[in-house]
């Protein structure tokens, strides 16, 4: 078994564990994917289980494909019998196999987030719901969050009329989806969980089949996903979970880091194996990450280390303004690029998307190529969604949401009034819009005939040819070809995307045994949430820290390290909010292999206003011996550039000679706006305004914990930091 060579002792112990449930604490850059794939290869090659008896759960289709590729190089056998994929993908596979027991049509379709929202808006209009009082997106989140907790509408507790109305919409939405034969992403998992929970024979069948269940990124599982795994894991199965509680950063999506500790109790895990050797970063970067994360509570605990050398210290830069911060980053990027580091090997990370504007402006001004990672995905583009809607409708005539999307696109003279009449007929007769449309004459009948003809013509065609036929006869291609003027270039890009859809179908047929249109549509829905990066272009990466998870770069810039920004001010509202923000910072630090920059600004324009914030406490938690301050740590705060102020926000007084009143605490301190100070009662803060003369000088200070206060300098007893 050559694939065992090169494993370190902890990796080897994890890979060769006897059949038992286990938790593998895999630190950043510790080779968790290698451990997972090698574990599967070892189980199969030693004859302990066939590929048929393994269930492997990942969080992205990309990760599943990478693991299958690695396995194919390790094992000289067919591994197609192995069930590997995302929670949603595996649940879809199970529901397709048992659609009758799940009370679903065989060709049920999957709503992505945008289509789910459109379906809700349509329903709320029928129910005459005030969308200002009950915003559709809020209702969408309410339904998804309820389902992810394993709750149906009748199980949600209600304490007031507002919540009761939301529950009524939830119930009506479920009825609409059932009638139309469609499911949303949350429904996939909940429906599959309910199927296994109520059907003992089916549950025992899968428990007997899957001897080994392996889960990647276990720290990102939510409550329902964990319950689903528990149903599949019987007395004679082994659950092998790999994760890192220090990288749990998706609580806003429902991830429950507590699942890791519950796992050790529920499955009587005797030995937690820690993968602490990092193969990515220099020691200084890891030491900084360790020093930061140790401040979190309720950790399972581990300490990253490397056999690499110490490397460079972390570079810290304090800018007078966010614009100066951006210019510094761009200058450093250009210099590093001249020294031979590719732009694609560098990334700028930020906590909030709003921070990217000033960075992008600086990059454009300097002529530096960049890419905002996590932009609009291929399957989410307008023209692709239109094409997929035609494909979905020829598969399932009763999908009302899909019919509404394309009944008048491209324009065929079917107006809003006609569509309202269709909806009224469907409602009064309790039928689908398609059935109502078949009773209507004129241009609606022409549309019905078109869809029926396309369904008949494509029934026996290979998938790529079927898509080509529909693109042509739906007149989508003609619609974009006829665009002129300023829209012509945009239309050309849309045409190229439609052609790419055929390429995607061709590749899908090549890679999958089931090459049906239903399977391709399922593939498109499941892939719609994953990023599509452009290839063969050397460009700097810009992204949020959340988007950076799983990536690594030679050089990383982490910008905006200020209180209220990173950590985000919303974190103060939850008991564990700052802990999650610290985990987010931990993720950001561990993206860097060789060089790491930490930057912040004395003033920042956010939402149209200049803000003055304290330096992030996360910077204070890093050991000084690991840091190299590019701007001197003290003089940077005591010399403030006038460029920090816009004409709309001038300082109240001349800043020269301030701070020589009585009782100030440090007699010769040069008090000025943006200065970090300490007060005996209110703690740390930053001066945001100064006004008055020699005898009545006062300052306005934004304190970290107590908010903004005006203080008379004569009695304030402020100490500069």
Q: Which residues pair with 598 in a beta bridge?
A: 316, 558
Is residue 256 within 8 A of residue 150, CB to CB? The reply is no
Is residue 195 within 8 A of residue 90, CB to CB? The reply is no
Given 16, 19, 33, 312, the catalytic residue: 33
C-alpha 324/C-alpha 603 separation (Å) is 10
Given 38, 233, 247, 522, the catalytic residue: 247
Q: Which helix (H) or strand (E) holds 480?
A: helix 476-481
C-alpha 119/C-alpha 131 separation (Å) is 14
Is residue 180 within 8 A of residue 25, CB to CB? The reply is no
Given 591, 604, 637, 698, the catalytic residue: 591
HEC-encoded secondary structure of 517-566:
HHHHHHHHHHHCCCCCCCCCCCCEEEEEHHHHCCCCEEEEEECCCECEEC
Residue 634's contacts (CB-CB under 8 Å, 6 or more residues apart) are: none
**Complete DSSP assignment for 153-204:** GGGS---SHHHHHHHHHHHHHHHHHHHHTEEEHHHHHHHHHHHHHH-HHHHH
Establish whether the linkage from the previous residue to 534 is cis, with ω within 30° of 0: no
> Residue 464 corresponds to which tokens in the numbers above?
């790529």
Q: If you search the block for the tokens 């949303």, which residue do you land on?
A: 184
Is 184 annotated in the active site?
Answer: no
Is residue 225 within 8 A of residue 202, CB to CB? The reply is no
| 265 φψ region: left (φ > 0), alpha (ψ -120 to 50), beta (else) | alpha
Is 33 annotated in the active site?
Answer: yes
> Residue 705 corresponds to which tokens in the numbers above?
């914990």
Is 459 annotated in the active site?
Answer: no
Q: Which helix (H) or strand (E) holds 215?
A: strand 212-215
Given 115, 217, 324, 579, the catalytic residue: 217
Given 32, 302, 405, 698, the catalytic residue: 32
Given 216, 220, 325, 400, the catalytic residue: 216
C-alpha 518/C-alpha 267 separation (Å) is 38
| Catalytic sites, residue numbers | 32-33, 216-217, 247, 591
């Amino acid at each position: 078994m050559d694939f065992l060579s090169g494993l370190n002792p902890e990796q080897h112990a994890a890979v060769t564990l006897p059949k038992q449930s286990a938790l593998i604490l895999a630190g950043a850059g510790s080779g968790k994917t290698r451990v997972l794939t090698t574990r599967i290869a070892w189980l199969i090659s030693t004859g302990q289980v066939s590929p048929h008896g393994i269930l492997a759960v990942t969080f992205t289709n990309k990760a599943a494909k990478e693991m299958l590729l690695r396995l194919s190089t390790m094992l000289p056998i067919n591994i197609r019998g192995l069930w590997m994929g995302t929670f949603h993908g595996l649940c879809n596979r199970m529901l397709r196999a048992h659609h009758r027991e799940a009370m679903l049509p065989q060709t049920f379709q999957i709503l992505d987030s945008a289509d789910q929202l459109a379906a809700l808006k349509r329903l709320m209009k029928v129910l005459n719901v005030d969308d200002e009082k009950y915003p559709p997106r809020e209702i969408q989140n309410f339904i998804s969050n309820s389902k992810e907790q394993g709750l149906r509408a009748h199980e949600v507790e209600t304490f007031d009329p507002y919540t009761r109305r939301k529950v009524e919409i939830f119930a009506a939405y479920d009825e609409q989806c059932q009638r139309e034969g469609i499911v949303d992403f949350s429904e996939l998992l909940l429906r599959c969980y309910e199927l296994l929970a109520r059907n003992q024979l089916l549950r025992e069948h899968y428990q007997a089949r899957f001897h080994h269940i392996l889960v990647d990124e276990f720290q990102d599982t939510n409550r329902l996903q964990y319950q689903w795994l528990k149903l599949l894991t019987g007395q004679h199965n082994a659950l092998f979970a790999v994760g890192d509680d220090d990288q749990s950063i998706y609580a806003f999506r429902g991830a429950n880091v507590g699942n890791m500790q519950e796992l050790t109790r529920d499955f009587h895990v005797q030995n937690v194996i820690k993968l602490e050797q990092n193969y990515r970063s220099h020691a200084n970067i890891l030491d900084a990450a360790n020093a930061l994360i140790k401040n979190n509570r309720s950790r399972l605990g581990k300490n990253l280390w490397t056999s690499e050398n110490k490397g460079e210290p972390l570079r810290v830069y304090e800018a007078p303004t966010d614009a100066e911060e951006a210019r510094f980053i761009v200058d450093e990027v250009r210099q590093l690029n001249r020294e031979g580091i590719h732009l694609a090997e560098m990334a700028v990370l930020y906590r909030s998307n709003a921070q990217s504007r000033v960075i992008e402006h600086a990059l454009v001004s300097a002529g530096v190529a960049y890419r905002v990672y996590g932009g609009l995905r291929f399957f989410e583009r307008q023209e692709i969604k239109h094409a997929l809607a035609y494909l979905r409708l020829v598969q399932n005539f009763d999908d009302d949401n899909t019919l509404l999307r394309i009944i008048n696109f491209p324009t065929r003279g079917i107006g809003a009034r006609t569509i309202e009449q269709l909806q009224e007929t469907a409602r009064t007769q309790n039928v689908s819009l398609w059935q109502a449309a078949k009773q209507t004459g004129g241009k609606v009948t022409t549309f019905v005939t078109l869809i029926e003809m396309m369904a008949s013509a494509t029934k026996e065609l290979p998938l790529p040819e079927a898509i080509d036929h529909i693109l042509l006869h739906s007149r989508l291609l003609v619609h974009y070809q006829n665009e002129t003027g300023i829209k012509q270039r945009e239309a050309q890009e849309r045409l190229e995307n439609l052609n790419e859809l055929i390429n995607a179908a061709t590749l899908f047929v090549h890679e999958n045994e089931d090459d049906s249109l239903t399977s391709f549509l399922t593939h498109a829905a499941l892939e719609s949430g994953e990023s599509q990066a452009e290839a063969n272009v050397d460009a700097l990466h810009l992204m949020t820290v959340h988007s950076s998870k799983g990536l690594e770069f030679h050089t990383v810039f982490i910008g905006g390290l200020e209180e209220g920004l990173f950590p985000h001010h919303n974190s103060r509202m939850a008991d564990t909010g700052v802990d999650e923000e610290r985990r987010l910072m931990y993720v950001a630090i561990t993206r860097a292999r060789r060089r790491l920059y930490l930057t912040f600004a004395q003033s920042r324009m956010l939402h149209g206003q200049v803000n003055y914030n304290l330096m992030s406490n996360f910077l204070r938690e890093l050991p000084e011996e690991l840091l190299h301050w590019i701007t001197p740590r003290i003089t940077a705060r005591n010399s403030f550039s006038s460029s920090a102020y816009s004409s709309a926000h001038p300082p109240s007084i001349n800043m020269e000679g301030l701070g020589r009143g009585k009782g100030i605490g440090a007699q010769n301190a040069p008090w000025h706006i943006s200065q970090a100070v300490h007060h005996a009662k209110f703690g740390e803060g930053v001066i945001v305004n100064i006004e008055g003369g020699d005898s009545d000088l006062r300052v306005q200070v934004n304190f970290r914990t107590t908010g903004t206060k005006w203080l008379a300098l004569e009695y304030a007893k402020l100490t500069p930091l």
